[in-house]
Chains A and B, each alone.
Chain A
Amino acid sequence: MNLYFNQIAAIVWKDFVTELKTRELLSAMFIFALLVILIFIFSINLSIVKASEVGPGVLWVAFLFAGTIGLNRSFMLEKENGCLMGLMLVPADRTTIYFGKLISNFIFLSIMELFILPLFMIFFNIEILEYLGPLLMVIFLGTLGFCALGTLLSSLSSNLKTREIMLPILLYPLLIPIVIGVVRMTGQLLEGVPLLDMMKWVGLTASFDIIYIGVSIMTIDHILEE
């Protein structure tokens, strides 16, 4: 069991060292998310529309679209020079590859979100500090589901020539339940509704997180095999 966790940790370590050297992924995701927010800011008249009504949608569009860039890059890195083949040849359960990439994607996306969140607060003039705890919980649930499904689908689409197109086409429809859940919860939090009053949405999002991880564990072996 120790070896299993060590192998997952090794993949995460490798992705971090690569990112520290290249700084490609985080900067690309951050700039993309920032641009999305800026475009919406200039197109929405916040004196007419309530920021708490449109803000959650804008925030999650920025997170998910920027996250897709990260997911595309994630398995591209493994395809370069046949590194995925090298990973497939090590004496490791294939789920270690999935969990290693999932954790890396989750951490990178979370870092980007932590930088975007204060900017969102400033641009939309929304006070989120008093709901920060519950909001971070919602972001955690949404990001986990996005990464759980996204990591699986990016491993699938990495074998395709049209991978950049296929990933969003496969990912977004399947992600709808989670997106609805987190956007609703974020909106209600910004209107002052406590998280305890939306446990149905928390349950729905968490259930889909678990389902996506479960399906990934069952299928990753077949997906990675040529």
Chain B
Amino acid sequence: MEPDENAMEVRHLRKSFGVLKAVDGIDFELKQGEFLTVFGPNGAGKTTLIKILCGLTQPTSGTAKIAGFDVTEGNVEMRKEIGVISHATALYADLTPVENLMFFARMHGLSQPEEKAMKVIDEVGLSQRRNDRVRTFSRGMLQRLSIARAILHDPTILFLDEPFTGLDIHASNVLKEHLKRLHNRRRTILMTTHDISCGLEMCDKVALQVQGKFAFMENIADVNRDQFESMYFDAVRDNQFVMEIGS
């Protein structure tokens, strides 16, 4: 990726599932090193947006470029630039952290996979449990290992889909520290979350996604926190109302 190139460029992005518009004309761009937090009620299309941007699902229309690569082309080079953390940990429950990360290091074609695995395990503070089966881990430890998996190949862009879900306050703080460290290393980050304080604390830009659209997007410096919170809660309440009417 060129130094002055945008890390993400999304234009008129749409994704429909039958009559349901999960993503409905989203436009935005992120420069390298920027951190965008996307809030939105359940069913707003946040996960679908991330799935499109990391090439897991095809958009119905519109374009998205990640690290200069068109996401619709399924480019292998693009996947070298991205790391993804989602609700699902993408970790094999019967393998140890070392085995899991060695496997992903080999899949990424990294040299010295064991050393790389040990290094990131140490970075996320799981050295003591590196030889235990992942199945025995708590949610917080799984999420930390999931971060280790996502940053193993040192990606320039990170997608985080509700990473704070199910974490206690300690695990949440640990995760926050990791994210801050990654942000300081000029990693471009797009995170979806329902956690207002975590989401607003770390980001450079904030967006509110409602029924597939970005109803709001601003630099964090220009956002009045109280107004944003009230707008977010209204969106969640209205969405709940729409869902109840719909059902």
Bound state CA distance, A221 and B55, in angstroms?
A: 12
Is A226 interfacial (CB 8 A cutoff)? yes
A window 14-44: CB within 8 A of B: 14, 17-18, 21-22
- Known contacts A7-B106, A22-B94, A85-B56; is A91 also within 8 Å of B89 by CB? no
What's the count of A-B pairs with C-beta under 8 Å?
82
Bound state CA distance, A17 and B106, in angstroms?
A: 15
Is B88 interfacial (CB 8 A cutoff)? yes
Q: Is the CB of B104 within 8 A of A21?
A: no
Shortest A135–chain B CB gap in Å is 35
B79's nearest neighbour on chain A, judged by CB, is: A91
Is A122 interfacial (CB 8 A cutoff)? no
User: What chain B residues lie within 8 Å of A218 (beta carbons)?
Assistant: none
User: What chain B residues lie within 8 Å of A90 (beta carbons)?
Assistant: 79, 104, 107-108
Stretch of A61-69, A76-84, A190-198 lying at the B interface: A76-84
Is A13 interfacial (CB 8 A cutoff)? yes
Is B64 interfacial (CB 8 A cutoff)? no
Bound state CA distance, A83 and B135, in angstroms?
A: 14
Is A117 interfacial (CB 8 A cutoff)? no
Shortest B173–chain A CB gap in Å is 24
Is A137 interfacial (CB 8 A cutoff)? no
Is A211 interfacial (CB 8 A cutoff)? no
Chain B interface size, as a band, is 20 to 34
Bound state CA distance, A81 and B145, in angstroms?
A: 13
Is B99 interfacial (CB 8 A cutoff)? yes
Q: Is the CB of A82 within 8 A of B106?
A: no
Shortest B67–chain A CB gap in Å is 12
Q: Is the CB of A87 within 8 A of B107?
A: yes
Bound state CA distance, A17 and B98, in angstroms?
A: 12
Bound state CA distance, A93 and B55, in angstroms?
A: 13
User: What chain B residues lie within 8 Å of A132 (beta carbons)?
Assistant: none
- Known contacts A6-B109, A14-B95, A80-B93; is A88 also within 8 Å of B56 by CB? yes
Bound state CA distance, A93 and B93, in angstroms?
A: 24
Q: Is the CB of B92 within 8 A of A77?
A: yes
Shortest A48–chain B CB gap in Å is 48
A226's nearest neighbour on chain B, judged by CB, is: B57
Shortest A22–chain B CB gap in Å is 5
Is A49 interfacial (CB 8 A cutoff)? no
Is B210 interfacial (CB 8 A cutoff)? no
Q: Is the CB of B76 within 8 A of A83?
A: no
Q: Is the CB of A81 within 8 A of B90?
A: yes
User: What chain A residues lie within 8 Å of B74 (beta carbons)?
Assistant: 221
Bound state CA distance, A93 and B107, in angstroms?
A: 10
Is A10 interfacial (CB 8 A cutoff)? yes
5 interchain residue pairs of minimum CB distance = A82-B88, A86-B90, A10-B106, A90-B107, A91-B79
- A residues apposed to B, CB below 8 Å: 3, 6-7, 9-11, 13-14, 17-18, 21-22, 77, 80-83, 85-93, 221, 225-226
Q: Can you list 16 contacts pairing A with B, beta carbon distance less than 8 Å?
A: A10-B103, A10-B107, A21-B95, A81-B88, A81-B91, A82-B88, A85-B88, A89-B54, A89-B56, A89-B82, A90-B108, A91-B76, A91-B77, A91-B109, A93-B76, A226-B57
